[in-house]
Amino acid sequence: MDSKYIIDSSIFVAFYYEGDQNHKNALEIIKTISGKTLIIHPYVISEVVTVLTYKVSKEVAEVFLSDVIGVDDVFIPNPDVLSESEFFIFQKKKISFTDSTLVYLAKKLNVKLVTFDKQMISLLK
């Protein structure tokens, strides 16, 4: 099993939002990768906090923040906007900047990207 994983916002939203169709899957995924190094890009933190605040509550968004900020097994990389932008521009398909950045980071670091997003998975191939 790998020791590092890049985590997409879809995993965290499903984990913290019981009404999400992937909630049970997210619980299993987080359980499986528990104790491993989770790489969480700042753009993902922003997305998750925003979605949880509006879909669930500000309190749940704050729980997410406390679970990932300053935690030993969480690595938050500094954005590399120039390289991330170049990779985004290179993409032929429509994709969000954040999703493109995660694919870029996964390829750059040679680390598994954990997501429910099929488009992101297809770009890794």
CATH number where 19 lies: 3.40.50.1010
pTM of the model: 0.92
125 part of a folded domain: no
Q: Is the pLDDT of residue 125 over 80?
A: no
Token pair in block for residue 45:
């933190």
User: What is the domain range of residue 10?
Assistant: 4-117
What are the CA-CA distances from residue 113 to residues 53, 61, 73, 85 (Å)?
24, 22, 16, 19
Given a cut of 80, whether residue 1 has pLDDT beyond it is no
Task: Specify burial of residue 89 (Cβ count, 10 A radius: 0-12, 13-18, 19+).
Answer: exposed
Residue 123 domain-assigned? no
pLDDT tens string 99-121: 999 999 999 999 999 999 988 88
Q: Residue 122: inside a domain, yes or no?
A: no
Is 76 part of any domain? Answer: yes
pLDDT digits 0-9 by tens, 58-81: 999 999 999 999 889 999 999 999
Residue 102 lies in a domain: yes
**The total number of structural domains that make up the chain:** 1
Q: 93 versus 60: which is more confidently predicted?
A: 60
Give mean pLDDT, residues 83-108: 94
